[in-house]
Amino acid sequence: MENFDASLSPYFKALLGTRDTRVKGWFLLDNYIPTLVCSIIYLLIVWLGPKYMKNRPPFSCRGILVVYNLGLTLLSLYMFFELVTGVWEGQYNFFCQGTRSAGESDMKIIRVLWWYYFSKLIEFMDTFFFILRKNNHQITVLHVYHHASMLNIWWFVMNWVPCGHSSVRADNHPDHLRGHLAVYLPSWLVVFPDRIHDFPDCSLHKLLHTDLQQEGGLPEERPPERPPEWVCGCCERTHQQLFFPGKQCEAKEATEGLKSGS
């Protein structure tokens, strides 16, 4: 594994520039392999979990869910407080802030953003609870893509742009520009691929486990109920008023003309 990571380092350096030395030695940040392995294990559990739970009753998980949600809530409050105070103390510029311009405040931001990166690993449990409770309809393509990608994206953020704003002036900061593009461009993949765009609410387990559907292991989902007629009528009238006001007036005048003619 160390040899594999060492072989990746020259490519990372050539593409993104030199890593930020302030995070050297931090847990999970020196080596990309643990982050990659955790993501692969997560995807394997998403694939195999519904098969394992097929003939087993769902777990309640009520007690552990209370602790889990309370813990993430407290962690989120801590991160919010630390980010706000760090930005305030460092007098951050919201339009363009360098990564080495606020001294100790930058380190405060880096420390709290490491917790944010680590929270992406903790949040894998969201999907695991869905699997254990057999709420497979909640495991959508977008849900899995988000959880699997965020941990990897933030590993790169923490190693190259762990604070401040990445500069987009290629003439002055070419390494920061390459880092900015390489780190944030993958997040746009959630918009452009046809599969993710077309199936954001499609249950991933139905795409992966067609054998369970054929064997009757998965219940058929009911089609969404059509809204009442009066709701459809209101929506249609509102749409016409907003986008086709002229046509509506013409139709109204034509109706009044027919009434007067009769």
* Residues with active-site annotation: 146
**Structural contact between residues 164 and 96, judged by C-beta atoms closer than 8 angstroms:** no
Give the pair of three-digit tokens for residue 132.
Answer: 């254990």
**Structural contact between residues 144 and 208, judged by C-beta atoms closer than 8 angstroms:** no
Task: Tell me 190's DSSP state.
Answer: G
Cα(5)–Cα(11) distance, integer angstroms: 10
**Structural contact between residues 109 and 86, judged by C-beta atoms closer than 8 angstroms:** yes
Give the pair of three-digit tokens for residue 156.
Answer: 């790169």
Amino acid type, 196: I
Number of other CB atoms surrounding residue 2 within 10 Å:
8
Per the listing, tokens 């461009």 go with 185
Closest CA to 165 of 80, 89, 101, 76: 101
Cα(185)–Cα(156) distance, integer angstroms: 12
Cα(80)–Cα(157) distance, integer angstroms: 18
